[in-house]
């Protein structure tokens, strides 16, 4: 399975961008907004924003590395906060993200921001059940519980045909070769 390269700075600033714009800043809502933004960016530009791997969990797709960052800040990870993630946001009430900083918009491209805004406008006011239902798409349903949703399935869910999917996968291979 071909994976995108995780971009920690984009992921962190995407979280801050989304958290500053949501009324309900719980893990679930942030995870789903990021999923829809990544999916939209794939459809429009051939690459995800965050590069995170989405796991098919009970409540829908969950960005693995971002979830790990949340657990580190919350204090229930086996990994210590050696990168000072807690200076960017706090976790309150076990599942609510409280941003401590504004996003560094230099770290996000215009297309990243456009896709994040699109996801916020489209899904930001949905209830837990509504956004959960929307995220239980074909990509999620075709993946075994607690396994990674393939980038190919996310690209197909975004509406790409075989040529579009191949373009996304080639972009990921080029990124890996350049790093």
Does the pTM surpass 0.85? The reply is yes
pLDDT bin (cut points 50, 70, 90) of residue 1 is confident
The gap from C-alpha 93 to its chain's centroid, in whole angstroms, comes to 22
DSSP secondary structure code for residue 104 in this structure: -
As beta bridge partners, residue 89 has: 99
Pick the closest to residue 94 from 45, 25, 1, 31 (CA basis): 25
Residue from 145, 10, 1 nearest 65 by CA: 10
pLDDT digits (tens, 9 = 90+) for 95-120: 999 999 999 999 999 999 999 999 99
pLDDT at residue 143 tops 90:
yes
pLDDT at 34 over 80: yes
- Residues 45-96 have pLDDT tens digits of 999 999 999 999 999 999 999 999 999 999 999 988 889 999 999 999 999 9
Closest to 155 measured CA to CA, from 59, 43, 77? 43
- With cut-offs at 50, 70 and 90, classify the pLDDT of residue 2: confident
Let me know how long the chain is. Answer: 179
Distances (CA, A) of 56 to 10, 21, 76, 157: 22, 25, 21, 14
Check residue 155 and give its pLDDT: 97
Give pLDDT, residue 9.
96
Alpha carbon distance 149, 146 (integer Å): 9
Q: Determine the pLDDT at residue 179.
A: 79
| pLDDT range class, residue 27, cuts 50, 70, 90 | very high
Which secondary structure element, helix H or strand E, spans residue 61, and what is its range?
Answer: strand 60-63
Q: Write the pLDDT tens digit of every residue in 158-171.
A: 999 999 999 999 99
């Amino acid at each position: 399975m071909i994976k995108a390269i995780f971009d920690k700075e984009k992921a962190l600033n995407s979280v801050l961008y989304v958290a500053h714009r949501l009324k309900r800043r719980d893990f679930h809502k942030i995870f789903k907004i990021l999923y829809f933004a990544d999916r939209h960016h794939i459809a429009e530009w051939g690459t995800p924003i965050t590069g995170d791997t989405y796991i098919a969990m009970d409540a829908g797709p969950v960005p693995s590395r971002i979830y790990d960052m949340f657990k580190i800040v919350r204090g229930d990870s086996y990994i210590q906060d050696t990168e000072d993630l807690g200076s960017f946001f706090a976790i309150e009430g076990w599942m609510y993200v409280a941003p401590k900083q504004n996003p560094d918009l230099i770290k996000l491209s215009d297309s990243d921001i456009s896709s994040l805004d699109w996801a916020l406008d489209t899904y930001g006011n949905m209830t837990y059940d509504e956004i959960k239902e929307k995220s239980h798409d074909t990509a999620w349903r075709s993946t075994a519980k607690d396994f990674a949703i393939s980038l190919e399935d996310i690209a197909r869910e975004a509406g790409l045909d075989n040529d579009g999917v191949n373009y996304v996968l080639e972009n990921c291979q080029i990124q890996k070769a350049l790093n």
